[in-house]
Structure 1
Amino acid sequence: MDAALKSPIILQNIPCTLVTGFLGSGKTTLINQLIASKPTDERWALLINEFGRIGIDGALLASSQATDSAKNNIAIREVNGGCICCTSQLPLQIALSRLLSDHHPKRLLIEPTGLAHPRELIQQLSAPHWQTALKMQAVITVLNALQWQTDKYRNHEGFQAHVRDADVLVINRYAQLSTDEKQTLQTWIAKLNAQVFIIWAESDNQTATNDISVLTDYPTVLNAQLSKPSFVISQQQRVNITEPSKTIVSLKPLSNHFPFKTSNDIEADSHIELPYRYHEQQQDIILAGWRLPENYVFNADKLQDWLLKLPNWQRIKGVIHTSDGWLQINFTPDSLTTSTVSAQVDSRLEIILQEGTEQEDMIDSEIDWEAYDRELMSLVID
């Protein structure tokens, strides 16, 4: 590791943008918007931190590069199986060192998991050995206005933490907010972070504004943030990571009737034998994911019905071979999105479940994962 940190990357001073946001805020959409503006002759790098082990976003971005000129010349590296900001510094240092030394990008984008606490990651990126390797630009945070309308998000410490540690706040999904609600949202933001620069994201039937009344060119304003220095990171003078490494729950053996393979080797992605499923518990959430052979074709309607009936689900992501073709699935409690994508090397599905409520406790050890395997496989039609 010491040799990696002493490599020539420390002299490159590469512009780096951290794109943060709570689970389901729309970070990947915003990153795609930034990538769409990339000069075709520039090589960019993208570090994606998936909280689970499956690696869906990176697979989709990688597979689309051949046909999407805006995404050509993008080097992608994923850190799966945990949050790079709440474990030790080692996964982040290794991933960044390899990404920069192998590809020599002109710009770096980092997308941490939506379950991350951004302050720890900011502390890591403020360490002396990264101050010369990376030129940290404004921290761009995405806020989903529909989530903000719900008490469980608005009062959630993790949701608020992303706002506190932002230089730029991009607000999306605000079409249903009245003028008074938008003003209330701005007041709420100001109490957490009076210095943050607000951008109202552009979407169908919406006009982007710096404040509620001033019109702006959203793509131009957004792209300009890539060249603005970070006030938040400039205030962070030293790294002080004290959180212990999290404990990974061991995977349980599966029934011989549904011989899913399991593995704790997160890095050996290409060596995973399919079909594969993992599950684990992290604090108050439960994660599970499946990787399945590309020739397994699922009934699209029945698959969606099954997913939506899962208990206390908070996020569902996947790219799956279905009767309607290859579909990208991106479900949050306030948004159900599916879109067609090009054929993939395998199907991938990942779910995040909330651990119970006052009325209903749901603990990982009580979930019959073999039953979930059987239910999922019963949806295969070919």
Structure 2
Amino acid sequence: MKLIAPTRAVPTHIISGFLGAGKTTLLQQLLRQKPEQEVWAVLMNEFGQIGIDQQILPQSEGFEIKELLGGCLCCSSQLPMQIALSRLLDEAKPDRLFIEPTGLGHPLQLLEQLTEPHWHSHLDMRALVTVVDGSRLHDADWTQQNLYTDQLKAAQIIVISHPDQMQPADEQGLEKLKQEYQAYAPRWLAAENGQLPLAEIDLAHVGIQRKIQPLLQLQRTLPAQAELPEIKQLPYHYVETAQGYSVAGWKFSRRWQFDFYTLLDLLCEQQDWLRIKAIFHTNRGWKTFNFNPQQFNYQSSPENTDNRIELIYRNARDWSAFEEQLLACRIDNAA
């Protein structure tokens, strides 16, 4: 695959969001702000095989719209996306590019692809945008889905759509979201009918640093100067840093089972944290934990794809003792 170097890197916006959030409506309004002399391009991704959204975007001169059908360009093979994007840049030579992944996609994975070194001279990545339907913020079953939360974590800017339809319960849900995601320091904007000045989202991308590493107890068994192996499967430990905050997390196999009360005691004993979120397979069923400094919430939940926990702190911390205590809560005795 040959990339033709443009005269300058093209400002590139990822517009993400869960199904029905209002991504395409926002994109329509943004495209109406195109200066007459410029060419803007859009790369859209639909999970199904029939493209519809492309037909409701501008078809006039000065716009180049390309749609990728079937699968998710965030998670599936990178090659179709890389080829489509290269052709779009080469043929359209756009002054600005918008990418709208499917609502079932993981935008952080797409962002990681597009910030790889070979794209640096071609793409000027702007702040990643996630669109959230404000009228559904009262629905905990909607807002607690892993894919939904992954999209929020990836966002540098969160755009609330349908603000005119929000009820008091939605307003409360929005305040709760802002509190939960304060560690990622996103910018919150409201867009009624998708109306939003381009300048509000035309900000430089600021990346989240993430290290995925073996469990800390396994790291201690490696020689001091040894390079940590690449982690491709569970279990693992990771640390993310963004805007001065640290997020420490662990993921374990869904087959691992933990003692509920021992685990609850451990989480309640932690100090100086900003937020603790977790989902565990326990001897009292699958449980979700959502702690903030004002209240400790836990409840039964559907079976998850894995056991996971995240703790957000302002300051660095030695996590070895916590991991040791966490693993001591395990009761299934599996290898």
TM-score, normalised to structure 1's length? 0.52
Aligned partner of 2:19 among 4, 8, 23? 23
1:152 corresponds to 2:141: yes
CA deviation vs aligned residue, 1:194-235 (integer Å, no higher than 9, x gap): 4110111124xxxx9xxxxxxxxx633xx11343101136x4
Deviation of 1:178 after TM superposition, in Å, equals 4.3
1:198 corresponds to 2:188: yes
CA deviation vs aligned residue, 1:286-344 (integer Å, no higher than 9, x gap): xxxxxxxxxxxxxxxxxxxxxxxxxxxxxxxxxxxxxxxxxxxxxxxxxxxxxxxxxxx
Preserved contact between residue 126 and residue 237 of structure 1 (Cα < 8 Å) = no
Aligned partner of 2:151 among 162, 171, 196? 162
Preserved contact between residue 45 and residue 109 of structure 1 (Cα < 8 Å) = yes
CA deviation vs aligned residue, 1:82-123 (integer Å, no higher than 9, x gap): 100111211111011000001110000000000001121111
CA deviation vs aligned residue, 1:165-196 (integer Å, no higher than 9, x gap): 11111101233434574244133233135411
Matched position secondary structure for 2:207: helix
Q: Which residue of 2 aligns with 1:73?
A: 62
Percent of aligned positions that are identical: 39
Preserved contact between residue 158 and residue 188 of structure 2 (Cα < 8 Å) = yes
Q: Which residue of 2 aligns with 1:219?
A: 196
In structure 1, distance between residues paired with 2:167 and 2:68: 39
Q: Which residue of 1 aligns with 2:105?
A: 116
1:229 corresponds to 2:229: no
Preserved contact between residue 50 and residue 79 of structure 1 (Cα < 8 Å) = yes
In structure 2, distance between residues paired with 1:38 and 1:32: 11
TM-score, normalised to structure 2's length? 0.59
CA deviation vs aligned residue, 1:123-160 (integer Å, no higher than 9, x gap): 11111111221000111111002232222211101111
Preserved contact between residue 166 and residue 232 of structure 1 (Cα < 8 Å) = no
Q: Which residue of 1 aligns with 2:246?
A: none
1:60 corresponds to 2:56: yes
Q: What pairs up with 1:1-382 in 2 under 5 angstroms?
A: 1=1, 4-5=2-3, 7-9=4-6, 12-61=8-57, 64-66=58-60, 72-178=61-167, 181-194=170-183, 195-203=185-193, 219-220=196-197, 223-232=198-207, 235=209
Aligned residues: 216
Matched position secondary structure for 1:175: helix
Preserved contact between residue 138 and residue 167 of structure 1 (Cα < 8 Å) = yes
Matched position secondary structure for 1:132: coil
**Would you identify which runs of 4 or more consecutive aligned residues in structure 1 move more than 4 Å?**
178-181, 235-238, 240-243
Provide the alpha-carbon RMSD of the alignment: 2.7
In structure 1, distance between residues paired with 2:106 and 2:23: 15
Matched position secondary structure for 2:66: strand
Q: 1:241 to 1:90 in 2, by over 3 A?
A: farther
**Unpaired runs of at least 5, structure 1:** 67-71, 209-217, 244-357, 359-382
**Unpaired runs of at least 5, structure 2:** 213-229, 234-301, 303-335
In structure 2, distance between residues paired with 1:155 and 1:139: 21
Amino acid corresponding to residue 203 of structure 2 in structure 1: K
Q: 1:241 to 1:14 in 2, by over 3 A?
A: farther
Preserved contact between residue 163 and residue 189 of structure 1 (Cα < 8 Å) = no
Deviation of 1:38 after TM superposition, in Å, equals 0.8
Preserved contact between residue 123 and residue 241 of structure 1 (Cα < 8 Å) = no
Preserved contact between residue 135 and residue 167 of structure 2 (Cα < 8 Å) = no
